[in-house]
Structure 1
Amino acid sequence: MKLTIAHKTCFSYQSMVRQSTQYLRLTPQNSVHQQIISWDLLLPEEAICTTDTWGNVLHVLTLDRPHQEIEIEARGVVDILDEGDSAPDPDCTLSPLVFLRHSPLTQPDAEIVHFARRYYREEAPLVSLERLMGELLLKMPYQPGSTLVTDPAEKVFAAGSGVCQDHSHVFLACCRSLHIPARYVSGYLYTDHVEHVATHAWVEAWVDGSWHSFDITNNTRSTRQHLKLAVGVDYLDACPVRGMRLGGGSENMQAVAAVQLVFSQQ
C-alpha cells in the first residue's frame, strides 16, 4: 500500500523570539514494514542531521535571528509492506532491556500494576498483551481534548479517557511493570475514521526476540496502515517536533497532517 504524507507545523509567537532550536523527528527509515520512495523536509534554514540515542533520524533546526513564526513541513511517499505485526529490528544496536526503564510519563502506580497483572499470563505473553490492550481501551475510551501531552500515565488512567499518547503511556507502564521491554512509537496512520487524526502513537513490546506492535487506540496489532517515524521511552523521546526558545511570549501552534492512499494507474 502506497501512501502520501503531508505534515505541516506552524508556530507563531506573541513577540519576537531571539533564538530557537527545534528537534525534528520527522524522517522515517526503511524497514521490513516500510520503504521510503521519497521524503523531504521544508525548513526555514538548513538543519543539522544526526541520529539520536534511540536510532531515530534527528534534524536540529536552530534559528539565531529574530523571528515571530516558524513553519516546518514534511512530505513524502512511502510504501507500506504487508510483513506481519513483528520485526527483529536488525539495525538497532540498543539492547531491548533499555526499554524497561520507567519515565515520569510512564511510571505505574499501584492501580496500573494491579490492572496489568490481572490480565497477564506468562505462558501466553502475546495473547495476554492483546487482551490487556482491549481491556485498556474499554477502561480508557478515546476522547480528544480530555488530557494534556504532559499528563502522566497514572493521571490519565485514573481519569478514564484519553488519546493515543495516553493509551500508549499507560500500556508502556503496564508492560514495564510486567518486566516486558516496551517502547513508544510515533508516526502516521491511514484511516477512514475522520475522528482520528493522521499523526498517531502506538507501542512496540519485545516478546520472543521481536518487537510486536500494539495500537491501543484502534485495538489492533496490525501495522498495515501505519508509518513509523520514531521510537523512545515515551512521548518526549519520539514526538515529531519539540523545541526551546528565548523570548517570544505566548505561543500558538497549529499542526495539520494528511495521509492519503495512492491509487495505481492502470
Structure 2
Amino acid sequence: MDAIAAPLLDPGGLDLESAARITYRIEQSFRYDYDSPVESVRQRLVVVPPARHGDLHRRAHRVEVTGAPARRRVSRDAAGNTIVRVRADRVEDSVEFHVLAVVERVRGDGPLTLPAAALADPRLLRPTRLTAADDRLRALAADLGGGGARGLDLADRVCAEVHAALTYEFGVTTVRTTAAEALACGRGVCQDTAHLMLALCHLLALPARYVSGHLLGQGGTHAWVEVVVPERGGAVAVPFDPCHGRRADSSYVTVATGRDYTDVAPTSGSYLGAPGGRLTATREVGVVAIAA
C-alpha cells in the first residue's frame, strides 16, 4: 500500500530498534485566521525533512497552500535545510499551509557523518542570543567539565544534568526565552532544554547544534541536540534529547538543524494589516511500515 494512504501502525506493538527499515508519515498544518483582510503575506516554512539525514531518507513530500492564491519558492539554507517561502498578495480571512512527507529510516545507512571541519565550525561552537552564558551557566559547566569526562561521555553528563535542571511545564517560557532564563526558572519545554544543553556544550567546547523534528507519540514539533564528535578522520553527529534525558532513537525524525530555535522555527512570517492573526496547528506523525 502507498505510504501516503496507508494507516498508521499501533506504536505499542512495534520494535523499532530491531527494524532494518522504518517508514514514517508526517502530516502537519498551520492555519492563520484574520479578523479582516490582510495583504503582502510572507511566510517562511521549515517543515520539509531533508532529502537525507544520516539513515533517514525523504521518499516523498508535498506542501499545499489553501485559502488564497500564493506563490512558492523552495531553497536550502546554509545548514542544508529545506526552506519553503510563500507569498500571497491578499488573504481575505484565512490561509492554511499543509505539509505531507514520507521518510524512511534505513538502519545500515547511519550514523550521520560530517567532515572533520565540522569540529571547528563556529556555528557549532559559538553562542547565540538564546544560548548565551551567564555566571550560573559558567559555574555549572565548570562542575560538569571537572570530572575528566570528554566527548560523548561528557555529552551524556550534560544531557542528564539538563534533564534534572528543568521540569517540563508548558506556558512558562516562550520562543524568546534564553537558556540562562530557563535555568533560573527551572521549568520549560523541549526547546528550552535544547537551548540549555547547547549553552553548556559551547562552554565545554563540544560542537553541537539544535534539531527540530518529531518524536512519535508527542503532541507537537519536538526539539533536541546533536553533538559532533571525531570519528575515523571525520566527525559524526550524535543526537541527545535532554528533555527526556536520553540519546535519541528510532522514535525521532529530523526536519532541520540550526544554531537555535530561531534558525529552524517551523513557521514564521509577516503581513500588512490589523494585528491579531490567530495560528492553529495540527500534527500527525507515525509509522506506516516496518521491516526486519
Using the aligned pairs only, state the percent identity.
28
Structure 1 counterpart of 2:73, one-letter code: I
Q: CA deviation at 1:71?
A: 0.3
* 2:118 paired with 1:96: no
Q: 2:97 aligns with which of 50, 58, 72?
A: 72
SS in 2 for 1:217: coil
Q: Which residue of 2 aligns with 1:137?
A: 163
Structure 1 residue 255: Cα displacement: 0.8
Is residue 2:192 matched to residue 1:166?
yes
Normalised by the length of structure 2, the TM-score is 0.82
Provide the C-alpha distance between the structure 1 equivalents of 2:226 and 2:258, rounded to a whole number of angstroms.
Answer: 10
Correspondence 1:100-249 to 2 at 5 A: 100-120=125-145, 121=147, 123-191=149-217, 196-208=218-230, 209-249=235-275
Q: Structure 1 residues 161 and 81, CA, compared in 2 at 3 Å: closer, same or farther?
A: farther
Answer with 1 or 2: which has the greater Rg.
Answer: 2
Q: 1:51 aligns with which of 68, 71, 76?
A: 76
Distance 1:216 1:204 in 2: 11
CA contact (8 A) 2:48 2:101 kept: no
Cα distance per residue 1:127-148 (max 9 Å; x no partner):
1211221121111021122211
The 8 Å contact of residues 151 and 206 in structure 2, kept in 1 or not, is answered as no
Unaligned runs of 5+ in 2: 1-21
Which residue, 53, 63, 73 being the options, matches 1:41?
A: 63
Rate the CA distance shift 1:105–1:84 in 2: closer, same or farther, 3 A: farther
CA apart distance, 1:68: 2.8
Residue 35 of structure 2 is aligned to residue 14 of structure 1: yes
Structure 1 unaligned regions, length at least 5: none
Report the CA distance between 1:117 and its aligned residue.
2.3
Q: How many residues are aligned here?
A: 260
Deviation per CA, 1:102-131, whole angstroms, max 9, x where unpaired?
111111111112112212355532112112
- Give the aligned residue type for 1:3: Y
2:248 aligns to what SS in structure 1?
coil
| Residues 149 and 84 of structure 1: CA distance in aligned 2, closer, same or farther (over 3 Å) | farther
User: Which residue of structure 1 aligns with residue 12 of structure 2?
Assistant: none
CA distance in structure 1 between the aligned counterparts of 2:71 and 2:260, rounded to whole angstroms: 28
Letter in 1 for 2:39: R
Q: Which amino acid aligns with 2:28?
A: H
Change (3 A) 1:187 1:180: same
Provide the secondary structure at the position in 2 that maps to 1:50.
strand
TM (norm. structure 1) is: 0.90
Q: Cα offset for 1:264?
A: 5.7
CA displacement 1:178-222 (0-9 Å, x = unmatched): 12221111111113xxxx324111111122222111111122213
Q: Is 2:47 the counterpart of 1:26?
A: yes
CA contact (8 A) 2:112 2:236 kept: yes
Please give the root-mean-square deviation of Cα atoms over the aligned residues, in Å.
2.3
Structure 1 residues 54 and 156, CA gap change in structure 2 (3 angstroms)? same
